[in-house]
Homo-oligomer: A and B are copies of this chain.
Amino acid sequence: MNRVGPAERRRSSASGTDRASAKRRVTIREVARLAQVSIGTVSNVLNNPSVVSATTRRRVLDAIDSTRFVRNTAAHQLRVGKSRTIGVVLLDIANPFFTEIVRGAEHVLRDQDYVLMLCSTDESANREHRYFRVLEEHRVDGLLVCPVDSDLESAVALVARGIPTVLLDRDGSSHGLCSAAVDDIRGAELAADHLFDLGHQAIALVNGPAAIRQCIDRKEGARRSVQRARRCRSASLQEIVVGALTIDQGEAAVAALLAAEPRPSAVMCANDLLAFGVLRGLAAAGVAVPEEMAVVGYDDVVFASMLSPSLSSVRQPKYELGVAAAELLLEEVTGAPHEHRAIRFEPELVVRASSTPRPVSVPRALLSP
């Protein structure tokens, strides 16, 4: 927060009068009157232009923009049953991972004149519940949701209530739900395998709340990896659970990380934000990365490659995830031929400095082709 408080300047007079003078919005009826046609005809030029003669259509169109008429979606919705809104419920809008997903979804949805109702739950089931309720009251045409709870009850309930729903970053096949997701178990395996391949024996997983499915799956992936590694040699996995998938929580986890027995020489994090925090905490504690502690994140958020040191991470195709989910939802919403299905993307490990034994120092000459 900045030191200097906000300075305010008054400019116009109280708005009590403003609202009093707020003129009634123009309706289809006034347009009709002005164009000397019936309201039905106006409605037709709006929704069924081909059915009305060119001349009256012109007249109506003129009336529309001379009155600055703007159709009322609520009335339309009440009649037709479509709101042209899509609810998007995710864990944390401040996380660039979700931001990219939203970008993808918005790009496909805006072309169809859908508008997004964005809801960030901050990983609170309570808030999620409330948002679901509000979105249902608004009669959203569909829902894109990354649920807080590990079970899919809330999402299943949504579908049961007749709201087309597509899961974001969560597989829905077990419950017959549409979804666009990445294999988290596999992703975590990639990360852990990488660390064991590097020769680390004791690795830690800084994980989010077990209520979040992604955290469970990523732990499972790590578990599988350590069990494989154990067949040839000593290998251990310790889990440090924090309260939320945020930078601050990642930083706070460092104390526990450094106190762990046996002390891990590598750490993987349930997402990049946690890893960012771990990196920061490690720096503050004077622990060299990757020499004294290797770090791997998850998501490969755009900033991961720019950190110091650059962060190894498990890449998820975020934008594509958003696009896929939105397209799936659109199919369902528009009633296009469609079967419920789970779209799955593959994760991909991106190795960078934070887990590379010694900084690769390539002669400059080799850099350009």
Count residues of chain A with CB under 8 A from any CB of chain B: 95
| Proximity bits, A89-121, B CB within 8 Å = 1, else 0 | 000011010011011001000100101111110
Mask of A247-290 contacts with B, CB within 8 angstroms, 1/0: 10000000000000000000000000000100110001010000
Pair A3/B346 contact, Cβ less than 8 Å: yes
Q: Which residues of B contact A51 (CB under 8 A)?
A: none
A308 to B341, CA, bound (A): 42
Which stretch, A11-19, A37-45, A195-203, A208-216, touches the partner chain B? A11-19
| Contact sample, A vs B, 27 pairs, CB 8 Å cutoff | A2-B317, A3-B348, A4-B346, A6-B343, A8-B343, A9-B344, A10-B341, A11-B340, A11-B341, A12-B340, A15-B332, A25-B139, A72-B78, A72-B139, A74-B138, A75-B78, A85-B138, A93-B106, A94-B96, A94-B99, A94-B302, A110-B119, A110-B131, A115-B117, A115-B119, A116-B119, A303-B307
- Give me the interface of A with B, judged by CB distance under 8 Å: 1-4, 6-16, 19, 22-23, 25, 68, 70-75, 77-78, 83, 85, 88, 93-94, 96, 99-100, 102-103, 106, 110, 113, 115-120, 127, 130-131, 133-139, 161-162, 173, 176, 180, 247, 276, 279-280, 284, 286, 302-303, 306-310, 315, 317, 320, 324, 332, 335, 337-348, 364, 367
